[in-house]
A and B are shown apart, each in its own frame.
Chain A
């Protein structure tokens, strides 16, 4: 059974940093692309970033480019999202997804972790 378990969310002040982690199990992590999708309270879904299975190719939404860094450790089956210079508009539930790179195909989702940016 595919499981994606996010952690690292919480309350942070504007301008602060957080690192989200996503521990994957139930599939061969190193063979699959991964992505993060977020959802602001009461709003729709927004693609944040995606990474190829090898980690060699990474894409970011314009809204986070230069502030967020996506990475993966295939030896630990873990995906990371380093978030710097956080803004109020980054407040959202962040979902880790198993995905097909460069597509809108997110076939498995974690339960999400809430990031709140507020003073």
Chain B
């Protein structure tokens, strides 16, 4: 079951900024860190943001994350063709389960 809600799709032209939202509740996003994953077609997911707004080494600084209350966002600035992928948010829920978002497909026009 998906506890975190994301828009099904987002798009932009090369160079534009795209923002993806992730809406949860007080038991998950509201009280725990948020993480973001990029999944290119046919591959395993890859961590792009951890602890709300931190980038792992090797992830371009075009990717940024933020959190406010029970919602979080992932922004991709300077959009590039290789950013075309599915993106998922994730968090821990105080009911002692991990939860993922519904996923957002980003298309580069």
The CA-CA distance from A112 to B91 in the complex, in Å, is 21
Which chain B residue lies CB-closest to A65?
B97
CB distance from B42 to the nearest CB of A (A): 10
Asked whether A107 lies within 8 Å of B97 as measured between CB atoms, the reply is: no
CB distance from A59 to the nearest CB of B (A): 5
A62 at the B interface (CB under 8 A): yes
Which chain B residue lies CB-closest to A46?
B100
Which chain B residue lies CB-closest to A62?
B97
CB distance from B56 to the nearest CB of A (A): 7
B88 at the A interface (CB under 8 A): yes
The CA-CA distance from A35 to B2 in the complex, in Å, is 17
Interface mask (B36-75 → A, CB under 8 Å = 1, otherwise 0): 0101000011110011000010000000000000000000
A13 at the B interface (CB under 8 A): no
Asked whether B46 lies within 8 Å of A104 as measured between CB atoms, the reply is: no
Asked whether B44 lies within 8 Å of A59 as measured between CB atoms, the reply is: no
A75 at the B interface (CB under 8 A): no
A82 at the B interface (CB under 8 A): no
With A104-B89, A105-B33 given, name 15 new contacts (CB 8 A). A37-B45, A47-B100, A59-B96, A63-B1, A95-B44, A95-B45, A103-B32, A103-B35, A104-B91, A104-B92, A105-B35, A105-B51, A106-B37, A107-B50, A109-B44
A residues near B (Cβ < 8 Å) are 35, 37, 44-47, 50, 59-63, 95, 102-107, 109-112
Q: Could you pull out 15 A-B pairs where Cβ atoms are within 8 angstroms? A: A45-B88, A50-B98, A59-B98, A61-B97, A62-B1, A62-B97, A103-B35, A104-B32, A104-B35, A107-B47, A107-B50, A107-B56, A109-B44, A109-B45, A109-B46
